[in-house]
Each structure stands twice: as C-alpha cells, then as structure tokens.
Chains A and B, each alone.
Chain A
C-alpha cells in the first residue's frame, strides 16, 4: 500500500513536471485504461477513415488526383498502425483491439459514418475533417504518454498535406463552372456541422475531459479547440467564396471570436449510437476485409514456421 502511494506520488510528480511517462513506468490503472481507450479509438478512426475516401480512388478526375488520394489513404493506414503499436505498449494486443472494433465494442470518430457522395467531398473531407483532426492532434504531440506523443508527431507531420490537398480541390471547384462551385458548396454544407462535432461534446457534458486534462493527455478543452477551428476556417471559406451553412454565424467584436449557432447534439448521439448513415456499412466492410485476409495471415505464419524449421535443421546438420 505504501509502495503504491510512493509510486503514485512519483507518477504525479512526473506529470506535474511535464515529464513523459514511458511504457514500462508505473502508472495508475485508470490512466492506462484511458489511454488504451483513446489511442485504440484513434487508431480505429484512421483505419475506418480510409473507407470514405477509398470510395473515390477509382473515380478521381485525373491521374494526379488519384495518386494523391492513394497516398493520403495509405498514410491513414500508416497512422492507424503507428497508433495500434503505441496502444500495444500499454499491454493490450492487436487482436483484442481489432475484435473490439469488429464487434462494435470500440468506437471510432463519428465523422466517418457519413457518406462521400461527390468528388467535392474529397475536398471537404481533406479541408474540414483533416483540418479538425489536425486541430485535435497537434496538442497530442505534447501528451504525457511518450509512445502516443511520438506517434502523434509522425502523424501530424504527414497530415498537413492532407488538409492542403483538400483545400486545393475546393479551390479548384469553387473557381470552376457554376456547377462545380455548387458541388463545393453542397459538400461544405454537408460536412461543416459533422466537422464541428468532431471536437466532442460541450465541455460541460464531456465525461472524460476533466481527468484527461489533469493527466495532460488532453491539453485544451473540446470547446476551446472547436472555437479555434471555426475562427481559422471561416476566413478560408470566404477566400473560397463559399457560404458557411450557419445563419447564426457572426464575428463578435467583444470576444474576438466568431459566434456560431447551436450544434445538433441529438444527431451526434444518434451517429455515436450506431444509427448514422453508414455505421453498418463501415463495420461490414472492415470485417469482410479482415475475414478475406485470414488465409493470407495463416499462409504467412505457416511459411515463417516452415522456413525457421528448415533453417534450424540446416544449422544442426552443419
């Protein structure tokens, strides 16, 4: 008991001094659990996030756009893998995490349960969804858990091209024909509110926020980051000549921020609960891909076993 108190005290000192906690260091169970939940959900979001954009790879309007989109989706696979490895340092296995995703026990970012209906959605997703993700992720580079922080440094470095390529698609469309501009506005209309929801519930109702802030896993509150995103994005929309789909949006001289209308949290809760437009489809696609890959995993395992047996018998013969 006293030893546990010493360990806990030391852990708190580390956190207070902004020192990183590393995989083998002692940590409170709740800290470990919170990290496993957050990092694995983050990894799942990257992996499920490949689907809405994967949807347009074969229909990209040019070879250049197609190569870029492929690279982006491949990055997302990579980001998922960095994050799964970071979560594994906390003592959960890859199989357990995948099981949790496939059975619906684990969540992923709700935004990926919306469909990508037109090519303009590739622009809106890159610009808004990746933009919001970056806003969330940059502070995580400084989070108190070393392996997560290091994974996030890699992710953030790679992610900035994602947002730029999205903005560029929006720019091209909004400077194109009336029909193209309309496509851009339509995609903006559909992705704006779900992007604001990406920052999570309002601070007053967010159930994990306070503890995560104290542990320095989270550095800024949901509402703080959401406001920053709005302030950053509105001028970008003006530059594109697009209208933010919010009648209540206006600059507030006093606060120096944009005021924006109420978020439909009922919709958010529905999507989180599994009733979004694509929840079923996303999980079905993921499970099918996993099942179709089973024979490859088994074959590779068998081949590795055979090769190592052969190598050891050759060694003993020599």
Chain B
C-alpha cells in the first residue's frame, strides 16, 4: 500500500522512564520534523510523568534484522551453554562463586 506524500514522516519514540534506566521504545507518531516529533511525543506518550527524556528516530532510518532469518541469526548461541555460569559443577564446599 502506498503512502500519499502529504503524510508527515513516521517517528519511533523512545522514553527514559527515570534516571538510571535506558530509553525504551514506546510507540510511534507522525510529525513534520524532529522538534515537532519531540513535542508530540511528550503529549502522546508522557501525559502521566512516564518520562524524564525522549528520543525520536525517523522510522525509515532504522535498520532491523529480518524475522525470517531469525534462526540463522540467533541459533548459534543455542549450543554454547558454557557461556552460562550454571554450566559448571562446583564442589559443595564452594559457597559463593
């Protein structure tokens, strides 16, 4: 389906809920430019003090991995259980390691 060119670009919105936490994707919105995207994001996504900082990124600037290649992409980590601490049996005498 085509997008008529009168439509403002789509922006993805990321909000930091409080100092010390990372920004998290919360949704998207349309805006003519970055400044308007920030101000709309404030009204749409932080009406109840949900944020202390907002990032907006044009949706078209995001490169995503392909869902159909999920297996090729992420399976290699499957058989490397030795990357987890629970892989290693330790004598009972060792309490904290």
Contact = CB atoms under 8 A, between A and B. Distances in A.
A88 interface: yes
Nearest to A7: B68
A88 B10 contact: yes
A158 B45 CA distance: 11
A20 B83 CA distance: 28
Interface stretch (A55-63, A188-196, A197-205, A303-311): A303-311
Interface string B42-73: 01100110000000000000001011100000
Q: Is the interface of A mostly helix, strand, loop or mixed?
A: helix
Interface string A94-129: 111000000000000000000000000000000000
A92 B1 contact: yes
Given A158-B48, A304-B32, A95 B4 contact: yes
A24 interface: yes
Q: For chain A, give the interface size range.
A: 20 to 34
Contacts of B33: 300, 303-304, 307-308
Nearest to A89: B28
Contacts of B28: 85, 88
Interface string A141-171: 0000000001100100010000000000000
Contacts of A304: 32-33, 36
Nearest to B64: A24
A304 B36 CA distance: 10
A252 B22 CA distance: 53
Nearest to A81: B44
- Judged by DSSP, the binding face of B is loop
B27 A151 contact: yes
A303 B30 contact: no
A184 B32 CA distance: 45
Contacts of A78: 43-44, 47
Given A22-B67, A78-B44, A82-B44, A300 B32 contact: yes
A100 to B, nearest CB: 12
A88 B11 CA distance: 12
A78 B66 CA distance: 30
Contacts of B7: 93-95
B8 to A, nearest CB: 7
The 4 closest A-B pairs by CB, nearest first: A300-B32, A304-B33, A304-B32, A85-B28
13 contacts: A22-B67, A26-B68, A85-B10, A85-B28, A93-B1, A93-B4, A154-B26, A158-B48, A297-B8, A300-B8, A300-B36, A301-B32, A304-B33
Interface of B: 1-4, 6-8, 10, 26-30, 32-33, 36, 43-44, 47-48, 64, 66-68
Given A26-B68, A151-B27, A154-B27, 14 more contacts: A24-B66, A25-B67, A75-B47, A85-B10, A91-B1, A92-B1, A93-B2, A94-B7, A95-B3, A95-B6, A150-B27, A158-B47, A303-B33, A304-B33
